[in-house]
Amino acid sequence: MELGASLRQKVLNDILPLVEKPGRYIGGEHNSVSKPWDSVSTRFLFAFPDVYDVGMSYLGLRVLYHLINQREDALCERAFAPWPDMEALMRSNGIPLYSLESFTPARRFDIIGFTLQYELNYTNVLNMLDLSNIPVRSSDRDESHPLIIAGGPVVYNPEPMADFIDAFVIGDGEEVINEILDMMASNDRSRDRLGLLKELAQIEGVYVPRFYDIRYSGLSVSSFSADAGVPDRIVPRRVRDLESVPFPDEVIVPLVDTVHDRAMVELFRGCTRGCRFCQAGIIYRPVRERRPETVRKHVLSQLDSTGYNEVSLMSLSSADYSSIEALIGSLAGDCDSRKVTVSLPSLRVDSFSIGLANRLQGLRKSSITFAPEAGTQRMRDVINKNVTEDDLMEAARAAFAHGWTTIKLYFMIGLPFETDEDVLGIAELAHKVIDQGRQVIRDAGGNPGRAKVHVSVASFVPKPHTPFQWVRQDSREEFERKIGLLRRSIRSRAIKLSWNDPDISLLEAALSRGDRRVGNVIEKAWSMGCRFDGWDELFEPEKWWDAFRSCEIDPEYIGTTDRDVSSTLPWDHISTGVSKSFLLAELRRAERGETTPDCRSDRCTGCGVCPSLEVSTVLSTGGTADA
Amino acid sequence: MPRVRIRMHKLGRYAYLSHLDMVRVLERAIRRAGLRLAYSQGFNPHPKISFGAPLAVGVTSTCEVADVEFDGSVSPDEIINKLNEQLPEGMKVDKAVLIDRRAKSLMSEIAAARYIIRMTLAGPELGQLEDSIKQLLDRDQLLLEKTRDGDVKVVDVRPYILDMKAMAGETLQIEACLRTGSKGNLRPDDLVTVMRQYGVLPPETIGVRIHRIELLVERDGRLVSAI
C-alpha cells in the first residue's frame, strides 16, 4: 500500500475517534489541491505552527498555496500544529506529522516552509520538526532532510530561530517563492546541502544564518562577519505593484469552523500612518493598493468558487483605501442579491469609518471596536496615533446613533514616556464614551442603560525595527501596578475592563528582541513541554523562566533594559528598507511629543523605504505620493 | 418556494464532521452550485436547511436527511446533479424529492433510525451473539444510567429498541432499529453501553463502528422511510 494511504487509514480509523475536533486533521476540503506526487520535481509543505482553525484563517497561506500549485513543476500541501491531545496519540502510535492533502509524512517533502506570525509559536515549530522525525537543529540535518525555510513578519529578527531554520525569507513572498522553486528545480540537491544553501543565499531576501558569525556583548552585537559570497545585509523583498502578482480565487473552504471563515481580498499592503509602536507599519511600507476593479473581480469570483456568504476586505487600515467608497458602492448590489455581507477589519477611529461600517453591516449590530491605544492626547502624540479625543467622541456618537450599543476600546499600557496620568486617562476616556452613549441613546428615546464599553488593555512590547526598539519594557511589577491603578479608577458598571497576562508580554519581548543565544532557551522550553504558548490555557510561564535560568539568560534584562542607540542591535543586518536614522529621529520626536504626518496625504517623511527598495506608494486613484 | 428533502451519505473522513459542519458544507455547496436558497426573515437571515436527527461525530451514514427550501423553481434531478458537482466523494446526494410545503418538519416527524454496529476486534461468536441478543430483548427492562447536567438518571431503554439482530458480514455486526426523536430516543453508542453492561459484548470488545442506514418517520401508526 502507498505510504500515504496506510497512514491515512490508521489516522482515520484508530486515532481520530479519540481526539477533540477531529475535523482539523482530515483534509478533503473544497478547492484543496492534490497533485500526483511524482508529477512534479519539488514538493513544498506549507507548515503553520498553530492549529488548523487559526492557520486556515491566514491570508498568506491562501496566496502561497495557490501560487505554488499553479506551477507545473511543484506542488504545495499543508500541515498544522496538532493540538496536544492529537500530538500525544500521534507520538504513542508512531504517526509522524503528515500533510492534509495526501497524508504524506512531512519528512518526504523537499521543502518545509513555516510562516512565523508570532513569537509564541516558536516552540510549535520545533515540535512540528520533531514530530516529522527531523532534527530540530539545522546543523544536525543532512541531504536526506527537507530544506526548512521560514518567512512572515517576525523573521525580521530571525536570530532567536536561527539555529533551527536553514533559510529565512524576508519580505513579500510572492516573487521570491518562485525564485526559490526555480533554483530547486535546477539544483541537484541530493548531493550537497551546503552548496544548496549557498546558492539559496544568493537570492535577494534570503538569509542563511549559518553563513554568519555573530558575537555579542551584553545586548548588542560585538562582532559580525559574513562568509565570502553572501550579503552583509539582507534586503527584504517588496512587490512593487500588487497588480502584477497573482491573487487566489479558488481558496480552500474549510469543513470545520475556523477563526476567520470567510472570503478575503487584500485591498492594499503597507500602512504609513506611522504609529511608533507598530512593526507592521514599518515592514510592509510603502502603501501599495490594488485597483478597485481588480478587488471587485476577486470578490465576486472568490464568492463563486467558495460559496462563502461573507467577504472581508483586508489591509492594515481598510478605511484608508483611497477608492473605498467607490468600491463599496460597486459591491453593494452584488452582495445584497447574494446575501453576502462585507466586512472591513481594523476600523479607523472616526465617523467616516462608522458610516462605512453602518452601510456594510446593515441591521446586524453587535459591537464595534476602536483602538485609540492611549488614554491622553500627550501619550497619543508620543506614539503618533493621530486620533484626537474629538475623533473618538464623534466616532462613538455616530456608532451609538447608528444603533451599536457596545463599543470595544483597545489600549496599551507600559508605553514609552508613560506617566500614571496617561494610565488614568484610559479610564477617563472610557467614562466619557459611556456618558456619550447614554446621552445619544436617551435622546433617541432608548434605554441609556444599554450603552456598554469594553476596555481591553495590552501590555506594550517594544518590537525590533520600530522607533521604540531601543526602549525598555515595563517590569511585571510595573504592569501589575498600572493595571491595579486602572481597575480602581473605573467606577461605572457599564465599563468592563480586561487585560492580558503580563507574563505573555514579557516573554514576547524577550523572544522578539532576543539574539541567537535565545535559541537555546526556545529548545529548552520546548523540551520541557512548552507548546502553544500564545494560548492562555496552555501557556506555562514558569517553565519558560526555568528554561531561561538554565541557559543563564535573563529575560527581564532583554526586555526591561534601555538599549544604546549607537550600538549594533541583533537584528540590524536585516533591513526593512526604513533607515535606522529615521527610527531614531522618530524616537526623539516621541520623546518631545511631536507627531509625524502620513506620507500618502502629506509630504515625504524621509523614512528611506522608497529609494532603498526602489518602490513607491501606489494609490488606486492613480497617484503616487512621491511622483 | 419549493421544499426539497435530500438524502446524503457521509463516509470515510467526513464522518468527523459535526451536524453544524454539515449544514455549512451543504449551504456553501448550494451557493457554489448557483442554486438559490431561501433564507429566514429577520436581523440575521439564515438558510432554510434542517437536518433530521444529528449524528455523533465519528459516525458514518448513508442516510443523512435534510429539508432544504429553495427560492424559485428547481427540480430534484437538477439539485442532485448540481450539488454532486460541488460535493466531495464521500459526501454526495443520493436522492432528492419535492415535498409539500405544509408538511410537518423533518425534526418533528422522525421516529426511528436504523444502524449497523460493527465490531472489528475481539467480538463474540455469531451464534453466541444471536443468543445473547435474544436474551437481552426478552428482558422487561434495560436500565441505562444517563448523566445530564451533572444529574444521574436511570432510564429504561428497552422500549426504545424496536428490533435488533446479529448478522454475519465481513466482520461481526448487529443491525438495530432505535427510537429517535421527541417520543423517546436511544443513541447507538448508548446501545453499545447497554450491550456491554448486560454482557452481550465482552468488555474488551474494541473497534466498535457505528453506521446509520435509515431514518424513519411515523405515518398512520406505521414506520416508513423518511425519504
Q: What is the set of domains in chain B, with CATH numbers?
A: 3-103 (3.30.70.580), 109-225 (3.30.70)
For residue A625, what pLDDT is reported? 47
A residues 139-168 closer than 8 Å to B (CB): none
- Mean pLDDT over residues A348-372, rounded? 81
Single-letter residue type at A23: G
Model confidence at A627, in pLDDT bands (50, 70, 90)? very low
Q: Report the alpha-carbon distance of residue A245 to residue A190 in Å, rounded.
A: 31
Model confidence pLDDT, tens digit, residues A44-63: 999 999 999 999 999 999 99
Q: How far is A362 from chain B (nearest CA, A)?
A: 9
Among the listed residues A52, A8, A10, A60, the one whose alpha carbon sits nearest the alpha carbon of residue A34:
A8
What is the DSSP code string of chain B?
--EEEEEEEE-GGGGG--HHHHHHHHHHHHHHTT--B-B--SSS--B-EEESSPPPTT-EEEEEEEEEEBSS---HHHHHHHHHHHSPTTS-EEEEEEE-TTSPPHHHHEEEEEEEEEEEES---HHHHHHHHHHHHHSS--EEEEEETTEEEEEE-GGGEEEEEEE-SSSEEEEEEEE-STT----HHHHHHHHHHTTSS-TT-EEEEEEEEEEEEEETTEEEE--
CB A307 within 8 A of CB B32: yes
- Mean pLDDT over residues B60-69, rounded? 96
Comparing alpha-carbon positions, the chain A residue that sits nearest to B16 is A23
Give B12's contacts in chain A (Cβ within 8 Å).
12
Only one residue has cell 474549510, namely A254
Does residue B45 register a pLDDT over 90? no
Strand extents, DSSP E, A488-585: 495-499
Model confidence pLDDT, tens digit, residues B99-108: 988 888 888 8
Strand, helix or coil at A566?
coil
Higher-confidence residue: A363 or A497?
A: A497
- Mean pLDDT over residues A522-541, rounded? 97
Model confidence at B24, in pLDDT bands (50, 70, 90)? very high
Model confidence at B160, in pLDDT bands (50, 70, 90)? very high
Picking from B13, B32, B88, the nearest residue to A12 by CB comes out as B13
Only one residue has cell 518567512, namely A151
Q: Report the alpha-carbon distance of residue A401 to residue A440 in Å, rounded.
A: 6
For residue B207, what pLDDT is reported? 76
Q: Which of A255, A301, A335 to mutate to test binding with chain B, by most B CBs within 10 Å of its CB?
A: A255
Taking an 8 Å cut-off on Cβ atoms, the answer to whether A339 and B39 are in contact is yes
For residue B101, what pLDDT is reported? 82
CB A31 within 8 A of CB A25: no
Higher-confidence residue: A626 or B33?
A: B33
Among the listed residues A42, A62, A46, the one whose alpha carbon sits nearest the alpha carbon of residue A148:
A46
Does residue A4 register a pLDDT over 90? no
Picking from A12, A308, A363, the nearest residue to B12 by CB comes out as A12
Q: Report the alpha-carbon distance of residue A113 to residue A97 in Å, rounded.
A: 14
For residue A498, what pLDDT is reported? 97
Whether A33 contacts chain B with CB within 8 A: no
Does residue A101 register a pLDDT over 80? yes
- Mean pLDDT over residues B164-187, rounded? 89
Strand, helix or coil at B110?
strand
Among the listed residues A370, A382, A407, A267, the one whose alpha carbon sits nearest the alpha carbon of residue A324:
A267
Model confidence at B122, in pLDDT bands (50, 70, 90)? low
Strand, helix or coil at B166?
strand
Q: Does the CA dihedral A67-A70-A75-A77 come out positive or negative?
A: positive
Does residue A189 register a pLDDT over 70? no
Q: Where in chain A is the domain with CATH 3.30.750.200?
A: 362-517+553-581
Taking an 8 Å cut-off on Cβ atoms, the answer to whether B43 and A28 are in contact is no
DSSP A526: H
For residue A366, what pLDDT is reported? 74
Model confidence pLDDT, tens digit, residues B14-23: 999 999 999 9
A605 Cα distance to chain centroid: 25
| Domain A3-226, architecture per CATH | 3-Layer(aba) Sandwich (3.40)
- List the beta bridge partners of residue A75: A43
Q: Locate A564 and state its grid cell.
A: 544604546
Single-letter residue type at A239: V
- Mean pLDDT over residues A18-38, rounded? 96
- Mean pLDDT over residues A366-371, rounded? 87
Model confidence at B128, in pLDDT bands (50, 70, 90)? confident
Model confidence pLDDT, tens digit, residues A122-148: 999 999 999 999 999 999 999 999 999
What is the DSSP code string of A247-259?
--SS--B-SS--T
Instruction: Among A195-199, A202-206, A335-339, A617-621, name the most confident range.
Output: A202-206
Mean pLDDT for all residues in chain B: 91
Does residue A354 register a pLDDT over 90? no
CB A287 within 8 A of CB A272: yes
Taking an 8 Å cut-off on Cβ atoms, the answer to whether B24 and A257 are in contact is yes
Only one residue has cell 499553479, namely A70
Model confidence pLDDT, tens digit, residues A387-440: 999 999 999 999 999 989 999 999 999 999 999 999 999 999 999 999 999 999
Give B25's contacts in chain A (Cβ within 8 Å).
255
Q: Locate B130 and state its grid cell.
A: 444471536
- List the beta bridge partners of residue A538: none
For residue A280, what pLDDT is reported? 97
For residue B195, what pLDDT is reported? 92
Higher-confidence residue: A495 or A364?
A: A495
Q: Report the alpha-carbon distance of residue A576 to residue A171 in Å, rounded.
A: 8
CB A233 within 8 A of CB A221: no
CB B39 within 8 A of CB A339: yes
For residue A197, what pLDDT is reported? 94
Q: How far is B169 from chain A (nearest CA, A)?
A: 19
Does residue A601 register a pLDDT over 70? yes
Q: How far is B82 from chain A (nearest CA, A)?
A: 13
Model confidence pLDDT, tens digit, residues A546-590: 999 999 999 988 988 899 999 999 999 999 999 999 999 999 999
Give B86's contacts in chain A (Cβ within 8 Å).
30, 307
Hey, what CATH topology would domain A362-517+553-581 get?
Transcription Regulator spoIIAA (3.30.750)
Model confidence pLDDT, tens digit, residues A191-242: 689 999 999 999 999 999 999 999 999 999 999 999 999 999 999 999 999 9
Q: Report the alpha-carbon distance of residue A200 to residue B182 in Å, rounded.
A: 65
**C-alpha separations of A343 from A262, A313, A315, A346, A565 in Å:** 10, 6, 11, 10, 42
Q: Can the peptide bond before residue A84 be classed as cis, meaning omega within 30 degrees of 0?
A: no
Model confidence pLDDT, tens digit, residues A262-300: 999 999 999 999 999 999 999 999 999 999 999 999 999
Model confidence at B220, in pLDDT bands (50, 70, 90)? confident
Does residue B170 register a pLDDT over 80? no
Model confidence at A626, in pLDDT bands (50, 70, 90)? very low
